């Protein structure tokens, strides 16, 4: 009961804010038509999300029953809520704009035009075929054309695409293509090395295997020396 009342209060606050926006529009009080339409969309989206969340909770209960257990027993009674909350985090990448992450750039780089490489970025994703984890590391390099982006933004970009249902091949391409589109650098290189639990915890049970994918664009594709330097640097030993 408490969970439902808390959700209702949250939705009530949303509805109240958007209703006031619609009311102001109706009374012609400095609210544009676009703002009014946005308010309608927000209310519709919130109703849809609330309905989908209830369905998700019921779906988890069904899976527990299908597995052969009792979703009403003490240890499992709150499991649907926990699973749905976890899935919201696992798949939060659908709610973010990858291009927005890279939108803020810096031009004061004293003419720096060599490779910028961030290696060993933790990758956490889920296989779209079995919905089990893909865990590994990503290495990203790009050769700037007059402007650079904060290096933490590259890690955030990996997180964004990781927090979606993925194949490793698609994720590698999405990361590289987004950097290429937004920053328009001279070259982009992305390598991902990851373990797929659909191979290690089920099926063939190859626990020591990993999958490596790469995408090279621009200079990294056309210049063998640049590509070899990138590969060498991401595998060089740490000195700190």
Q: Give the residue numbers marked as catalytic.
A: 127-130, 168, 196, 198
Beta carbons within 10 angstroms of residue 162's beta carbon:
25
Beta carbons within 10 angstroms of residue 235's beta carbon:
10
Compute the C-alpha angle 137/141/143, nearest 5°.
Answer: 175
Supply the DSSP symbol for 143.
E
In angstroms, rounded to a whole number, what is the distance separating the alpha carbons of residues 161 and 149? 18
Going along 6-132, which residue ranges are E strands? Answer: 105-106, 116-127
Specify whether the backbone of 143 is left (phi greater than 0), alpha (psi in -120 to 50) or beta: beta
Which residues make Cβ contacts (< 8 Å) with residue 229, sequence separation at least 6?
115
């Amino acid at each position: 009961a408490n969970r439902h009342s808390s959700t209702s209060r949250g939705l009530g606050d949303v509805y109240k804010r958007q209703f006031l926006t619609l009311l102001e529009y109706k009374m012609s009080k400095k609210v544009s038509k676009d703002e009014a339409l946005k308010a309608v969309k927000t209310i519709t989206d919130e109703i849809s999300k609330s309905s989908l969340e209830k369905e998700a909770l019921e779906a988890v209960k069904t899976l527990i029953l299908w597995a052969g257990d009792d979703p009403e027993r003490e240890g499992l009674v709150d499991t649907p809520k926990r699973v749905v909350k976890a899935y919201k985090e696992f798949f939060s990448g659908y709610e973010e704009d990858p291009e927005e992450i890279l939108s803020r750039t810096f031009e004061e780089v004293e003419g720096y035009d060599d490779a910028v490489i961030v290696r060993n970025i933790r990758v956490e994703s889920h296989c779209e075929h079995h919905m089990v984890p893909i865990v590994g590391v990503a290495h990203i390099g790009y050769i700037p054309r007059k402007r650079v982006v904060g290096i933490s933004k590259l890690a955030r970009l990996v997180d964004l695409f990781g927090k979606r249902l993925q194949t490793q091949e698609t994720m590698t391409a999405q990361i590289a293509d987004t950097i290429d589109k937004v920053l328009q650098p001279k070259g982009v290189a992305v390598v991902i090395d990851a373990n797929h639990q659909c191979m290690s915890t089920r099926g063939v049970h190859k626990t020591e295997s990993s999958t490596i994918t790469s995408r090279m664009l621009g200079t990294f594709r056309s210049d063998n020396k640049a590509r070899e330097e990138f590969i060498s640097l991401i595998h060089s030993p740490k000195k700190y």
